[in-house]
Structure 1
């Protein structure tokens, strides 16, 4: 292990069956004061989650 890469060894020790997938199904992204949930289009639950979130947006604001 090179002296300048101590985190590489720590990341290698976390390898497991979940590391087979090249990317996550969703990413929580922070831009300024907003939070975005980016879902992968190939993930089988993307349509279900987006439909549920759209249903929540149709509810009246409880102000």
Structure 2
């Protein structure tokens, strides 16, 4: 069996685990939550760095 044949593709697609709606919603929520947390962290770091450089007169 060659992986790039139609038969091989169909066999591999049968092995794929597709998430249920609840699992997909939880995973999506986790990704959105962590993206927001990282965005808030980097925004906070930017404000602190800007304040520090302004205080130093740079």
State the TM-score bracket (shorter-chain normalisation): 0.3 to 0.5
Larger RCO: 1 or 2 (CA < 8 Å, sep 6+): 1
More helix per residue: 2
More strand per residue: 1
Question: Normalized against structure 1, the TM-score is what?
Answer: 0.31
Radius of gyration: which is bigger? 2
